[in-house]
Amino acid sequence: MEIKRGIAVSPGVVIGPAFVLDAESFRIPNRLVERDRLQDELQRLRQAFQAAAGDAHQNQAAINDKLGTQYGAIFGAHALLIEDPVLQREIEGLVREKSYAAEYAVSRVMRRHAKALESLKRGPFASRSADIFDIEKCLLRHLLGHRREHLQDLTEPVVVLAHDLTPSETASLDPKKVIAFATEAGGRASHTAIMAGALEIPAVVGLGRFVTDISGGDLVIVDGNRGVLILDPDPETQTRYELTRRNLRTFESDLIHLRDLPAETKDGTRILLLGNIEFPPEATHCVDRGADGVGLYRTEFLYLGKTTDPTEADHLDAYLTVLRLLGSKPVVIRTLDLGADKFSTNTEIVAEERNPFLGLRSVRLCLRNLTLFKTQMRAILRASAHGDVRILFPMVSTMLELRQCKMILAEVKEDLEDEGIAFNRDLPVGTMIEVPSAAIMSDQLAREVSYFSIGTNDLTQYTLAADRTNETVASLYSPGDPAVLRLIEMVVKAGQKHRIEVNVCGEMSGEPIYTLLLLGMGLRQLSVTPHNIPEIKKVIRSATLEEAGRVAQEAMCLETAKDVNNYLREQTRRILPEIVVP
């Protein structure tokens, strides 16, 4: 049993068989075979060894001709590995004594050796694990014939394990078949993490190396609440997790019946609970959970992993899909919030940025790439003729920037007018408050927009100057930090003074321990991941504004994030004892 810790990006606890996604997406169909099949298995194995050795010799001859014996020798070494009597004995031993299927035996033995090689510090052979994997693939290819299974061919629910998942792989995940996933790479804001949340599949990322320690079919536990991956759990651990899973499910099913109840405090104040989405189908989640609308439609996925920029039609198609699902409920569409580094079609020669988070991203990028910006604006405006659409600008850091965005918007409106295309002339315009300068200037910015959306993720990072994906400083990051709270308060007050709407759309809004605080500070709108809507609603319905106000006041007197979080946890448990908070 091995316990690995990573970043929890999508909640839920799952126990299931591993599906290891390596570069060739091999899937080991069965771990064991019946005893009367053993002779057949051994025969298959021998044939595979012979065929693979044949391949290696052939390759050697061919490469000898083409590039010389120095390079051909590599395949000679491969042949020797395949023909290695010690390896063959080990693999056959597993089949004979433990009834392992040929594929499983090959994979287990190879991966064990690869791991052992990787732990060699000196010498030239530490990097030779790549050769072992090569042989493994070779043998599996022969054993499986052309029956290489892909993610699409899954026949039973699995936990997908990989180094990383590409956008197309994640997009094709079927939540019914992929019950969880875990990756070596990735951070909280990586597209893998976003997808997991969007698809509501429990997931942990940023685990570091582990894929080579496991074979397809092995049992694993993914704890998407705590960010833990357990490989090959022992029976005691399995039992413990089964219990946790059942407890969580009970709590969750209690929450489902909340769908049709309003998000209203005990003393009768209606709070708007909106949903954050990335993809059109997620709008269904919002509706299913009884959201009052979409408070944040992140549009980055239209750009990620594509070879060309999305056209106006691509944008419009996605927006209209969402609007159809949301009916008359409001939908806030945020313009592109990506950095230059994420762009495959970036035509501007941008030298690699030393500080991408302080660099050319979001509206800064858009203001330098007006075609990009205007295309998206056109689509948003056109969509506004079909539903309650609002536009939101990310990462605005100065008044000038905001005014520039509004000017471009005005130009696009004129263009559409000239072309006779319908749109809402009074399209509400809002800005994200996520850069500290914007929070500090919120009093001035409030005059120029219809609403604010506080992006607490980035606001917290920029304010505390800490990268939450950097484990060495991640502990500094907390939305409950007194500095962040003061900035939020500033923004809320500015909104109240100029009578504009203010909501919080960062993760903070979806964490139940902050609900009382946010309500008490004066917020009346929260935009959260659809998964969290029932839980937040429950907190709202268990609280009075008076209580919330007192809690907020107390919290604002505390000096450290730790004190704030502890206090809030305590207060939340007081009004809702059965809540499960980490």
Determine, following the binding rule CB under 8 A, whether residue 128 of this chain makes contact with other proteins: yes
Task: Give me the DSSP letters along 356-371.
Answer: GGGSSBHHHHHHH-HH
Per-residue contact string for residues 108-127; x = within reach of other proteins by CB under 8 A: -----x--xx--x-xxxxxx
Closest to other proteins by CB, 86 vs 400, is 86
Closest to other proteins by CB, 124 vs 235, is 124
Tell me how far, at minimum, the Cβ of 86 lies from other proteins, in Å.
4
Backbone angles phi, psi at 268, to 5 degrees: 85, 15
Q: Are strands 7-10 and 451-454 parallel, antiparallel or unpaired?
A: unpaired
Tell me how far, at minimum, the Cβ of 53 lies from other proteins, in Å.
12
Coil/strand/helix, residue 114: helix
Beta bridge mates, 298: 334
- Give dist(CA 3, CA 275) in Å, integer: 34
Determine, following the binding rule CB under 8 A, whether residue 261 of this chain makes contact with other proteins: no
Q: Which of 191, 285, 315, 531 is catalytic?
A: 191
**What is Dmax (Cα atoms) for the chain?**
85
- Give dist(CA 363, CA 432) in Å, integer: 11
In 381-492, DSSP assigns E strands to 389-393, 429-433, 451-454
Residue 431: count other Cβ atoms within 10 Å of its Cβ: 26
Tell me how far, at minimum, the Cβ of 109 lies from other proteins, in Å.
9
Q: Which of 138, 286, 405, 505 is catalytic?
A: 505
Closest to other proteins by CB, 84 vs 489, is 84
Closest to other proteins by CB, 82 vs 204, is 82
Choose the stretch contacting other proteins; rule: CB under 8 A; options: 70-78, 357-365, 433-441, 471-479: 70-78
Residue 96: count other Cβ atoms within 10 Å of its Cβ: 15
384's CB contacts (< 8 A; 6+ apart) are 423, 424, 427
Binder to other proteins among 28, 45, 56, 87 (CB under 8 A)?
Answer: 87
Binder to other proteins among 17, 29, 76, 157 (CB under 8 A)?
Answer: 76
Choose the stretch contacting other proteins; rule: CB under 8 A; options: 128-136, 177-185, 501-509, 529-537: 128-136
Choose the stretch contacting other proteins; rule: CB under 8 A; options: 14-22, 67-75, 502-510, 526-534: 67-75
Determine, following the binding rule CB under 8 A, whether residue 86 of this chain makes contact with other proteins: yes
Closest to other proteins by CB, 103 vs 118, is 118
Per-residue contact string for residues 25-64; x = within reach of other proteins by CB under 8 A: ----------------------------------------
Closest to other proteins by CB, 141 vs 541, is 141
- Give dist(CA 498, CA 533) in Å, integer: 29
Closest to other proteins by CB, 83 vs 489, is 83
Task: Give me the DSSP letters along 544-579.
Answer: -HHHHHHHHHHHHH--SHHHHHHHHHHHHHHH-TT-
Binder to other proteins among 32, 61, 80, 581 (CB under 8 A)?
Answer: 80
Tell me how far, at minimum, the Cβ of 108 lies from other proteins, in Å.
14
Determine, following the binding rule CB under 8 A, whether residue 77 of this chain makes contact with other proteins: yes
Query: Burial letters for 361-388: b for 16+ Cβ neighbours within 10 Å, e otherwise?
Result: bbbbbbbebeebbbbbbbbbbbbbeebb
**Where is 205: in which H helix or E strand?**
strand 203-205
**Per rule CB under 8 A, count of chain residues that contact other proteins:** 25
Q: What is the CA radius of gyration of the chain?
A: 27
Binder to other proteins among 23, 35, 36, 70 (CB under 8 A)?
Answer: 70
In 439-511, DSSP assigns E strands to 451-454, 501-504
- Is residue 505 part of the annotated active site? The answer reads yes
Tell me how far, at minimum, the Cβ of 78 lies from other proteins, in Å.
9
Within 175-204, the residues that bind other proteins by CB under 8 A are none
Choose the stretch contacting other proteins; rule: CB under 8 A; options: 66-74, 92-100, 375-383, 452-460: 66-74
Binder to other proteins among 73, 370, 557, 581 (CB under 8 A)?
Answer: 73
457's CB contacts (< 8 A; 6+ apart) are 189, 434, 468, 506, 507, 508
Q: Are strands 203-205 and 219-223 parallel, antiparallel or unpaired?
A: unpaired
Tell me how far, at minimum, the Cβ of 88 lies from other proteins, in Å.
10
Binder to other proteins among 85, 208, 235, 268 (CB under 8 A)?
Answer: 85
Pair 79, 63: CB distance under 8 Å: no
Binder to other proteins among 62, 130, 261, 422 (CB under 8 A)?
Answer: 130
Inter-CA distances, 220 with 136, 155, 213, Å:
22, 18, 12
- Give dist(CA 221, CA 239) in Å, integer: 11
Tell me how far, at minimum, the Cβ of 448 lies from other proteins, in Å.
56
Binder to other proteins among 22, 84, 317, 489 (CB under 8 A)?
Answer: 84
Sole residue written with tokens 């429950």: 538
- Is residue 498 part of the annotated active site? The answer reads no
Tell me how far, at minimum, the Cβ of 411 lies from other proteins, in Å.
52
Nearest to 510 by CA among 495, 532, 489, 490: 532
Closest to other proteins by CB, 94 vs 568, is 94
Pair 423, 413: CB distance under 8 Å: yes
Closest to other proteins by CB, 87 vs 561, is 87
Coil/strand/helix, residue 385: coil
Put the strands of the sheet holding 219-223 in their side by side order. Answer: 2-5, 228-231, 219-223, 13-21, 158-162, 178-183, 203-205, 7-10
Catalytically active residues are: 191, 505
Binding site for other proteins (CB under 8 A): 70-71, 73-74, 76-77, 80-81, 84-87, 113, 116-117, 120, 122-128, 130, 132
